[in-house]
Structure 1
Amino acid sequence: MTSLTDRYLAATLRSVPVARREEIATELRASIDDMVEARTADGQDTAAAEREVLTELGDPAQLAARYADRRLYLVGPTYYLAWERLLKRLLSFLPATVGVIVGALSAVNGNAGGAIGEGIVAAFMVALHLCFWVTLVFAVLERLNVPLDLPGWTVDQLPEERVDRQIPLTDTGAAIGWLVLVIAYLPWQHYRSYVPDGEGGDVPVLDPALWSFWLPFLIAVLITNIGFEIVKYRVGRWTWPLVAANLLLDLAFAVPVIWLLLTDRLINPELVQRFAWFREGDNLDTVTAVVVAGTVLVVLWDVADSIVKAYRSRA
Structure 2
Amino acid sequence: MTPNEKDYMDRYIYQVIRRLSKAQRDEVRMELEELISDMYTDKGSMEEALTELGDPAEFAKQYQDDQRYLIGPEYFDTYLWFVKVVIVCAAIPILLISLINAIGEMPAITAQNSASVIIRAIVDGLITGITDAILSCVSAFGAVTLTFAIMERKKVQFELKKEEKWSLESLSGEGKTPTSRSRWTPKFLEPVPDKKAIISRGDSVVGIIFIVIFSVLLIFAPHFFAAFFTEGETVMTVPIFNLEQWGIVLPVFILSLLIGLADEILRLIVGVYCRLVMISNIVCGVLQIVLSIIVLKVLPIWNPNFVLEIEQALGDHADSGARFLTYWNADMVSNGFLAFIVAITLFEIGVTIYKTLRYGVAVKSN
> In which range does the TM-score fall when normalised by the shorter chain?
0.3 to 0.5
Q: TM-score, normalised by structure 2?
A: 0.40
Q: Larger relative CO (CA 8 A, sep 6+): 1 or 2? A: 2
